[in-house]
Structure 1
Amino acid sequence: MALIRITRESPLPAAEAWRRLTDWQRHGDVVPLTRVRVTTPPPTGEGTVFVPRTGVGRLAFDDPMEVVTWAPPYADTPGHCRLEKRGTFITGWAEIEVTPHGPGSRITWHEEIHVRRLPRRCDPLLARAGHLMFSRAVNGLLTYGS
């Protein structure tokens, strides 16, 4: 499994950073060649399922995820969200933590991914590519309001 860890500080208050990072459909705006469909009714919480579809035409795949932990930040308490990847092609999990930090917030994105049929010797390359992609996504979600 490839391990990815991204940490960012943002001038956004924790509640706003959380809102932007957990607006699942907006992830499609910042991840290339990706559209996101939320398959459960709002509001987001434990049990929410969404399906990013990445690629073009027949070279596309679904990456279904389920929110298994949902605890938004409150006052000085950090927010924590855990996603389980439920796909047949990509498996693993992701955790997003948003902690109040001065007038802004500190964000930690931790992810473990495995691509089926990809040998483990490819994990370092997968981790580097994932780090680049998720860094871009986190930066984009925090930078552009919705």
Structure 2
Amino acid sequence: MTVRLLVGEDVAAEPSRVFAVLTDWPRHQEWMLLTRAEVTGGDGRSAGSRLSAFTGVGVLGFLDTMEITGWDPPRSVSVRHTGRLVRGTGEFRVLPRPGGCRVEWEELLEVPAEALWPLARPVAALFFGVSLRRLGALARGREG
């Protein structure tokens, strides 16, 4: 089963600044809850580059490997999740607005346990929403 999750956040910062913070992969731990990311292949700034993100606490968590499939600064970056647990696609879009931008985070994920998705969806949406608020604060130059 493929599921879609879309969250968004208005950010009072220039789109180019937001995109720069968003795609500074080692800084993900500063805004994305419980997640550390790194570039594992390529330059991290072009299609074909590979990323690895660990979400969890200590050794409890999961590894999300990805390949960048689209790179259009400062508007969007898209990935294909290639891990054993997380499969599907994801995209961050930075949409200009008066006084800043809107950041949208969309995931199309293959969910192995369809029956659990109604319980997992609100938790994932909350996780993504809090992370985007922290991204906005970081892009504005404030701690999240």
Q: State the TM-score bracket (shorter-chain normalisation).
A: 0.7 to 0.9
Q: Return the alpha-carbon distance in structure 2 between the equivalents of residues 14 and 127 of structure 1.
A: 28
Correspondence for 1:122: 116
Report the residue type matching 2:79 in the other structure: L
TM (norm. structure 2) is: 0.84
Matches within 5 A, 1:48-87: 48-56=49-57, 58-73=59-74, 79-87=75-83
**Alignment-mate amino acid for residue 135 of structure 1:** G
Distance 1:30 1:115 in 2: 25
Q: Unaligned stretches of 5+ in structure 2? A: none
In terms of fraction of residues, the more strand-rich structure is 2
- 1:92-107 pair list within 5 angstroms: 92-107=88-103
SS at match of 2:41: coil
8 Å CA contact retained: 1:28, 1:52: no
- Note the residue ranges of structure 1 that are not aligned, 5 or more in a row: 74-78
Indicate the residue corresponding to 1:76 in structure 2: none
The superposition leaves residues 120-145 of structure 1 with CA deviations (integer Å, 9 ceiling, x where unpaired) of: 12112222111111111111112114
2:21 is the alignment partner of 1:20: yes
Rounded to whole Å, the distance in 2 between the matches of 1:40 and 1:133 is: 27
Distance 1:3 1:136, change over 3 A: same
Q: Residues 38-85 of structure 1, C-alpha deviation per residue, up to 9 Å, x if partnerless?
A: 112435111121111123455332100111000013xxxxx1211110
Distance 1:43 1:89, change over 3 A: closer
SS of residue paired to 1:64: strand
Q: TM-score, normalised by structure 1?
A: 0.83
Distance 1:59 1:72, change over 3 A: same
Q: Deviations over 1:70-125 (max 9, x none)?
A: 0013xxxxx12111100011111111111111131121111122344xx2121122
Q: What is residue 106 of structure 2 aligned with on the other side?
A: 110
Identity score, percent? 28
SS at match of 1:89: coil
How many pairs were matched up? 139
Aligned-residue CA RMSD (Å): 2.0
